[in-house]
Structure 1
Amino acid sequence: MGKPILIDFFAEWCGPCKRMGPIIDELKTMMGDSVEIKKLDVDQHMAEAQQYQVSVVPTIIIEKDGVLLQKYQGVTDAQTLASVLKPLVE
């Protein structure tokens, strides 16, 4: 079984996306290397955004072993994200 993956879909022009940056950094500190974190700019990764049906930025996707487990739209705090991720790495 692989690591859980968190994908942060964002856009450079998106104000709320800029607020997610420090939240993702906090999550990295909390979770360490136990979670793979990817940041994808929707303007440069349109195919992936369509694949995950991203219509709002920021959108956070959490998946493990190719299965989408959770999808958050808008700014989401680190504790909420960690509460989903921690059981996946224990």
Structure 2
Amino acid sequence: MEVMTDLQGMGESNCAWNRRLLLHRDTILAAAAIYKEMYGNEDGSLPATFEILYMIGWKPHESQAKPAKRGSATASFGDLSKISRPTDTDKS
């Protein structure tokens, strides 16, 4: 039950489009019993792992800045390693 509360607190309780609106207590208790049987440790603890996937959506808009023409750059990414770091004498 604590894991379900934690997941809800992280906003992970509504990640399926076709989910049922309520998750009944009996369903949670049955799932917990099965999980404990399959994955429970000898000391009675239950390991729980999950993955968090972050996604972002993006759609072009006419007001968005357009990229510069290919080849119009004035510096090369390959030259970035040649840039020297500022020294104490450069701080005047």
Same fold (TM over 0.5): no
| Smaller-chain TM-score bracket | under 0.3
Q: Which gives a bigger RCO, structure 1 or 2 (Cα 8 Å, sep 6+)? A: 1
Q: What is the TM-score normalised by the length of structure 1? A: 0.27
Q: Which has the higher helix share?
A: 1
Q: Which has the higher strand share?
A: 1
Q: What is the TM-score normalised by the length of structure 2? A: 0.26
